[in-house]
Amino acid sequence: MTDDHRVLVSASILNADFSRLDRVVHKMERAGADRLHLDVMDGHFVDNITFGPDVVAAFRRLTDMPLDVHLMISQPARYVERFLEAGPETVTFHVEAEATPERTMSAIEAIHAAGREAGLAVSPDTPVDAVDPWLSELDIIMIMSVYPGWGGQGFIAEAAPKIAQARARLASAGRGGLVHVDGGVNSKTAEIVGSYGIDVCIVGSALFQ
């Protein structure tokens, strides 16, 4: 890694005050966040339920910041078009979420057909090589450093070495893809993920405390 490697911050609004999304967005802009990370949960792939494409579209109307949609839903291929219509810059879904490799590919193709960037997220118990069949198509590998579902959980240190594995894979793919890390990132754990070469830190509760 070179000295000029700048780590970006994508602010997760999961633990924000949903009654005033305009305030949340402006607070994150003022705090210097580079991007906004929007956690979509369906009560099926994960136990929690958050929001759907209409709320993503509301964020789109509120800000020009790049929007990263993180789909923690089953059947992402079925729903991805609706999220693309809401206007995010990137859509990442879980490598564990689709029924077949073909459906995973069709979701990635839909994201690219809309001119947006596509990512695969890897839960803590999933090895990074699970993304290998789609590596040449990936703009993002998202390493989950908590079990998906809730903000404010503790950082799972065992996930950190997967950042370097993902970085090496994206470098070999030559597409310029970025590694995101999601869950439990704060001023302390940021040093750990930085040492493994992280590109984008997703930060939720640490920003809202």
Q: Which residues are catalytic?
A: 39, 182
Nearer to ligand DX5 by C-beta: 72 or 80? 72
Half-sphere exposure (Cβ direction) of 81: Cα atoms closer than 13 Å: 2
Which residues contribute to the site for ligand DX5 (CB under 6 A)?
12, 14-15, 37, 39, 70, 146, 148-149, 151-153, 182-185, 202-206
Q: 3-state class of 37 per DSSP? A: strand
Decide: is 39 part of the binding site for Zn ion (CB under 5 A): yes
CA distance 153 to 31: 22
**Residues counted in the chain:** 209
**89 to 128, contacts with Zn ion by CB under 5 A?**
none
On whether the CB atoms of residues 92 and 69 are closer than 8 A, the answer is: yes
- The residue (of 8 and 105) whose beta carbon lies closer to ligand DX5 is 8
Number of separate helices (H) and strands (E) present in the chain? 7, 8
**Site membership for Zn ion, residue 182 (CB under 5 A):** yes
Residue least distant from ligand DX5 (Cβ): 204
Least distance CB 193 / ligand DX5 (angstroms):
12
User: How far apart are CB 186 and ligand DX5 at their closest, in Å?
Assistant: 7
Q: What torsion, rounded to 10 degrees, do the Cα atoms 177, 178, 181, 186 define?
A: 180
Residues at the site binding Zn ion, with contacts judged by CB under 5 A: 39, 70, 182
